[in-house]
Amino acid sequence: MTDREDKESKEGCGEHAGWTRRGFLTGVGVGAAGVAVLGRVSSASAEEESVLPAEEMVKIKLKVNGRFQPLLVEPRWTLLFVLREMLGVTGTKVGCERGECGACTVLIDDEPRYACMTLAVEAQGKTITTVEGLMDGEKLGPTQEAFLDHDAYQCGYCTPGQIMAAEGLLRANPDPEEGEVRIGMSGNLCRCGAYPNIRDAVLSAAKRRR
């Protein structure tokens, strides 16, 4: 190939027209990085728009024990706080407030949940049941009666949470074995150590419900 032909070939590939192969690849890489950055910025902006300011009051409606309750709450308020302080549903107890003891256990769509670890705004559109909601007027429900008959309490402070954990267990598994009861109730602590009686109460409640 002559020098002239070599020069024309390089011009055809763009080396003397402002683009080298290395320059082209570098440019493509920078462009892709720019698109990725813009995508992350756009995504971050969308997330920021969906986050509720902590101290800005919002309207929600909670279904608690079969009744709808319209409320004005701060997004940071827990379900435990709203139940006790705004609705006066005090059967749900304040314990550790960090998801360890289970004293605040309620049912959300029939599943046991720690009310201290659940934001009130998260519970909107779901069915919330507290220990008061297990009663039929002034009559105790079968799980409550079983706890009473088997003395499954001492100081009684953890008892509402224990009952709600048992209720959730029995709704999911109506005929649990002893080992399943132990596992199902393991998220609720009793500082008085009434665990054997609690176990017996749950097994008895299963028979009553059947």
Q: Which amino acid is at 69?
A: Q
pLDDT of 13 over the 60 cut: no
Angle at 159 between CA 156 and CA 163, to 5 degrees: 160
129 contacts: CB under 8 Å, gap ≥ 6: 64, 65, 106, 107, 108, 110, 164, 167
What pLDDT, on a 0 to 100 scale, did the predictor assign at position 210? 84
Q: Read off the pLDDT of residues 70-129 as tens digits, 9 standing for 90 and up.
A: 999 999 999 999 999 999 999 999 999 999 999 999 999 999 999 999 999 999 999 999
pTM for the structure as a whole = 0.75
Q: Read off the pLDDT of residues 168-182 as tens digits, 9 standing for 90 and up.
A: 999 999 999 999 999
What pLDDT, on a 0 to 100 scale, did the predictor assign at position 18? 53
pLDDT of 4 over the 60 cut: no
Among 50-54, 105-109, 194-198, name the one with the lowest average pLDDT: 50-54
Higher-scoring residue by pLDDT: 52, 86:
86
What pLDDT, on a 0 to 100 scale, did the predictor assign at position 176? 98
Class of 58-209 in CATH = alpha beta
Domain ranges of the chain: 3-50, 58-209
